[in-house]
Amino acid sequence: MSDSSARITGLDGLRGFASLAVVLYHLSLIVRPEVSETAWAWLTQSPLKLLFPGTEAVLVFFALSGLVVALPVLRSGFAWSRYYPSRLLRLYLPVFGALLFATALIIAIPRDPAAAPSGSWLRDAQATSVTPGSFLAEASLLPASYDIDNVLWSLRWELFFSLLLPLFVWLAIRFRRASPYLAMMAASATIAGRMLEIDALVYFPVFLLGTIIAVNLDSIRAFAQSSRTRGLWPVLAALSGAMLIASWLARPVLEGRHKVAADVVWGLAGVGATLIVLLVIVWPVLRHACERPAALWLGRVSFSLYLVHAPILGTLGYLLGVERWWLVCMIGLPLSLGVSALFYRWVERPSHILARRVGGYVTQRLAHVG
């Protein structure tokens, strides 16, 4: 791909891997009450954590959105009148469908809170009932927390970024010549957000880092083609992976002793997530891995998988019990993948088609009025 208008296929695969990682993370939360402290430490405070990151994988989504949502803005023929209705429908219609699906599961298979361990993901992040008010609140993507479909907290930030996209693109273009410094400021801001416990300061800079990549994409590719950079990518890959899960790796040393240092290390996850996105663009080894057929299939259904898996796993957790965690895992993963394929076919894909048509219609009507 020689220019910024071409689709970066490997990013679809990366999105698929990130979505699968979130599924594995939520499965690990169901398993957690049945695992010893020692076993849990071995699983989470080692490189194995790269297989099932939680919020860290969501930060990969945010960096990806900053890149791929901003790229069309930089192309000729882009129209904000088409973007806004199309983007909002692409977000809200699948979310509404996922909430209907989750509500149906909660009604069909009752959940007894007493059956879930205290402090567990099942008890604290899975609704046991749904009211019209709670449904509409989560469908709006405005609340800070969600339990009908637990993953919707991240869509709230995707919504805010989508609405503020002109500001992100303006910043990246306005300071294009100082992009390295702007990127360092964004990286520092997401770390500061962790220290100050301000979610907006944690997440928005990660979107901005992705937008900076979009604005500088051709320059980044040109730099990557230099023979002098070939040995850089494996080192950067190791560094990005370590940064992504640094807060877990550092827990034996920092947890409960050095809060500021722990917050700084936790803030590095957003930087690591952005570097992984960058590596898929510039490092052929990683890009080809993300372009394999299985990865691309995961990428195609990734949004659907992200939306439907939490209600499925929550239902299975209550139905089978955490003591049968192995059965929840055996059934939950393939069932989530299968349902995501159906959800993509019957909900997400039609939503995309409708969103494009509505965006085009609004643009034509405004042009006619003008």
Task: Mark 47-70 as b/e (b = at least 16 C-beta within 10 Å).
Answer: eebeebbbbbbbbbbbbbbbbbbb
Each domain of the chain, given as residue ranges in start order, spans 9-369
* Whether pTM exceeds 0.85: yes
pLDDT in tens, 278-304: 999 999 999 999 999 999 999 999 999
- Residues 6 or more apart whose Cβ sits within 8 Å of residue 333: 23, 24, 27
The whole-number pLDDT of residue 7 equals: 73
User: In this structure, how many other beta carbons lie within 10 angstroms of the beta carbon of residue 4?
Assistant: 17
pLDDT in tens, 222-243: 988 887 777 899 999 999 999 9
Mean pLDDT of 23-48: 96
Phi/psi at 6 (nearest 5 deg)?
-80, 150
Cα–Cα distance for residue pair 177/11, rounded to 1 Å: 25
Environment class of residue 273 by beta-carbon count within 10 Å: exposed (0-12), middle (13-18) or buried (19+)? buried
* Percent of all residues in the chain with a pLDDT value above 90, rounded to a whole number: 92
Q: Which of these ranges, 4-8, 81-85, 113-117, has the smallest mean pLDDT? A: 4-8
- CA triple 150-19-78, angle to 5 deg: 100
The whole-number pLDDT of residue 370 equals: 61
pLDDT in tens, 75-95: 999 999 999 999 999 999 999
For 210, the token pair is: 């992705």
pLDDT in tens, 159-172: 999 999 999 999 99
Assign 29 a pLDDT band (cuts: 50, 70, 90).
very high
Mean pLDDT of 248-274: 93
